[in-house]
Amino acid sequence: MGADIHVKILERDNNTWKQVTLYHKEKEEFKIVNVYPFRNYELFDILNGEEDNNYIAYPIREDSLPVALKKEIEGYKNTVGYYGFKEINLADLKLYLYRSPKIRDYDYEENSPNAWKTNPVKYFIEKIEQYINFASQYGEFVSPPSDIRIIYWFDC
């Protein structure tokens, strides 16, 4: 059994939140590019609050979401197998990584020099920033990290 991580990115624009979306063309149809199309069980455990007590995310504030995204999330909430609806802003996610750059690598003995490895949140942040950079008109990150909300949930 696996767990997919569904990610949406929002950017503050004049005190409202708009979704950052990329599209790709498949035949004659435009489809949304998945922000994080990977499975990573260590990242899943951190984002789900099971691995690291230093990681803090919050329930999604649905009242401030764009209407289409709010409807999408409500639809998933009413579907069996979808859970863990949370959000964190990019600044807080980066602060968490700054405080926890390494995580325990359980493939090695506790006292081994290889007992710690790079926190997978580092690569999660990189993917999010690549997505934002590509989606921006000028190809560079323009909003401060505190104005970027990362909305996510899981399925099984």
pLDDT digits (tens, 9 = 90+) for 48-101: 988 888 899 999 999 999 999 999 999 999 899 999 999 999 999 999 999 999
Q: Which helix (H) or strand (E) holds 150?
A: strand 148-155
Domain with 19 in it: 4-155
- Residues 12-46 have pLDDT tens digits of 988 899 999 998 899 999 999 999 999 888 999 99
How many structural domains are present in the chain? 1
CA–CA distance, 83 with 79 (Å, rounded to integer): 9
CA distances from 10 to 28, 96, 128, 149 (A): 27, 19, 11, 5
Burial 124-152 (b: 16+ CB within 10 A, else e): bbeebbebbeebeeeeeeeeebeebbbbb
Q: What's the whole-model pTM score?
A: 0.90
